Structure 1
Amino acid sequence: MRDEREKILPYKIMPNPNLTAPSVDAKALKRVAIVDDHTMMRGGMKLFIESLPDFEFAWTSEDAREAMAALEADVPDILIMDITLPDRNGIELVKDVHAIYPDLPVLMMSMHDESYYALRALKAGAKGYLMKSMPNEVYERALRRVAEGGTWLSEAMSEQMVQMYTSGTKREGDDGLEVLTDREFEVFQLIGEGQSTHQVAAALHISTKTVDVHRSNIRTKLKMEDGSAVVRFAIRWVESRRMAAQ
């Protein structure tokens, strides 16, 4: 596991003063671990956790391998995990964590819009999904909700999921994408954002050859005639999600 003395951000993220935390003793502190491949994000989250009176920083890991090794030695009360990791898709990692540590709540965070991944994250066993762009007060509320045994989603996403389950229909815009694996779905979404094979490879920390394999699998599973059809469909899908979110 990476040395916890790694360089961290030179500023302190303060909690929302309007949120009051209950008085707790050291034994009641909720220990939080962080899995993210960005040093600045790990450092910022570490400072944020340490600024909350009823939470305690446990450890950080930069990839899935480190995280699983760290969990064997020290299981925290809450695990915060990025969805995009250099050695494995975060949602696939959540499935493994949930299988081995079923009582460990996982709060996923990502730069991707929650309409892309929130449902997949919850199905994998996560207890919540946060976009990295959310303000500190939202992170604090999410942590407290998960610490109390609840599930965290934004109000808008919660309404979408309620409508989906009560109506018994798929979310508008899914278009059969449930057949894709979580990694294939990541590739599909990045293609839809106009990224090239090299850009997708860099974003997901995989080789261009692996991206090509995923693109081929996506084309086969979605029954598209060629790669260009996949690109057109992906672009339309991403645009439809953006319009729905407005």
Structure 2
Amino acid sequence: MPLADRHQISTAPRKKSNVLIVDDHPIVRQGIAQLINREDDMRVCCEAGDADQALEEIAKCDSCCNTDIALVDMSLPGISGLELVKTLRSRFPEIQILVISTHDESLYAERALRAGAKGYIMKQEATAKVLIAIRHILSGEVYLSEKMRSKILQRIIDNRFETPSSPVSHLSDKEIDVLRLIGKGLRTSEIAAELSRSVKTVEAHRANLKEKLGLKNATELVRFAVQWVESES
């Protein structure tokens, strides 16, 4: 090959992967964006503070470039991060998803994977691991912490699912959303508005929560929810 041709190949611009960041904290978005935009192989194409804005930004981005991967915070106002993952997987199956969260991975990581995410990373280690996680996922792999990978592999080896130690592990995704909002002090009508559900549906979730968690009344449910939210923060 002539030297000129080799020089052309070596200096050709490298295609960058487009990253969407969905987090309701602007400072967090800014920090992750700065980290990503320093790299030669990826760039932040758009940002969003909630699920609705994320879907709008994807539509805008796709008019000029395709979003390759979405970084989604688990705790979003309105529609939860987990519900957004399901929506993205259904409407935009070509977009890979990495969940970044403060919530305990032993409870949420498998839920995120079942919802359609390809990876889960704790915010405490995001600075050190987010670029590694993004590259793993874009190359077709799944990214989890060593601890979580070992846990899942052990279940496969044992050919069984261990009984979760926390009663919250038995709850559905919707019930966890309701429990989280109860713990944040929201009333039933406010929860219904936040989740875009009817008051009757939220009341049904509250009844299921009391039954599954072995709680006698609304007071015990609120106390449990507050303590659980505090332990997650």
TM-score normalised to structure 2 length: 0.75
Deviation at 1:29, TM superposition (A): 1.2
Cα drift, residue 28 of structure 1: 2.2
Aligned to 1:185: 176
Given that 1:80 and 1:108 are in contact with CA atoms closer than 8 Å, whether structure 2 keeps it comes out as yes
Q: Is 1:116 aligned to residue 103 of structure 2?
A: no
Shift of 1:40: 0.7
The answer on 1:146 being equivalent to 2:148 is no
Which SS does the other structure have where 2:125 is aligned? coil
SS at match of 2:135: helix
Q: Distance in 1 between matches of 2:32 and 2:171?
A: 34
Read off the aligned partner of 2:16 and give its amino acid letter: L
Distance across 2 between alignment mates of 1:56 and 1:113: 28
Corresponding residue number in structure 1 for 2:164: 172
Q: In the TM superposition, what whole-angstrom CA distance separates every residue of 1:72-111 from its partner, at most 9, and x where no partner exists?
A: 2324111111111112011111111101122211000111
Unaligned runs of 5+ in 2: 1-9
1:91 aligns with 2:78: no
Report the 3-state secondary structure (helix = DSSP H, G, I; strand = E; otherwise coil) of the residue aligned with 2:156. helix
Equivalent residue number for residue 59 of structure 2? 72
Distance 2:219 2:12 in 1: 59
In 1, Cα distance between the equivalents of 2:24 and 2:11? 32
Identity %: 33
Question: What are the superposed Cα offsets for residues 17-73 of structure 1, whole Å, 9 maximum, x if unpaired?
Answer: xxxxxx995452111111111111111111111011211121101111111122223
CA distance in 2, matches of 1:135, 1:170: 28
The size of the alignment, in residue pairs, is 213
Name the CA shift for 1:145/1:236 in 2 (closer, same or farther; >3 Å): same
Instruction: Determine if contact 2:99/2:119 at 8 Å carries over to the other structure.
Output: yes
Change (3 A) 1:67 1:238: closer
User: Does 1:106 pair with 2:106?
Assistant: no
* 1:172 to partner: Cα distance: 3.0
- Aligned AA (2:22): V
Say if 2:118 is the partner of 1:130: no
1: CA distance between counterparts of 2:78 and 2:168? Answer: 27
2:24 is aligned, of 37, 54, 79, to: 37
Give the secondary structure class of the aligned counterpart of 2:124.
coil
Displacement after TM superposition at 1:234 (Å): 6.5
For residues 133 and 37 of structure 1, the distance between their equivalents in structure 2, rounded to whole angstroms, comes to 16
TM-score after normalising by structure 1? 0.71
Aligned to 1:11: none
Distance 1:170 1:233, change over 3 A: farther
Going from structure 1 to structure 2, the CA distance change for 1:171 and 1:79 (only over 3 Å counts) comes to: farther
**Structure of greater Rg:** 2
Q: Report which of the two has the higher share of helix.
A: 2
Relative to 1, partners in 2 of residues 1:35 and 1:232: Cα closer, same or farther, differing over 3 Å? Answer: closer
Q: Which amino acid aligns with 1:50?
A: N
Q: Which runs of 5+ in 1 are unaligned?
A: 1-22
Using the TM superposition, give the Cα deviation of residue 184 of structure 1 relative to its aligned residue in structure 2, in angstroms.
2.1
Structure 1 residues 67 and 233: alpha-carbon distance in aligned structure 2, compared to 1, 3 A threshold? closer
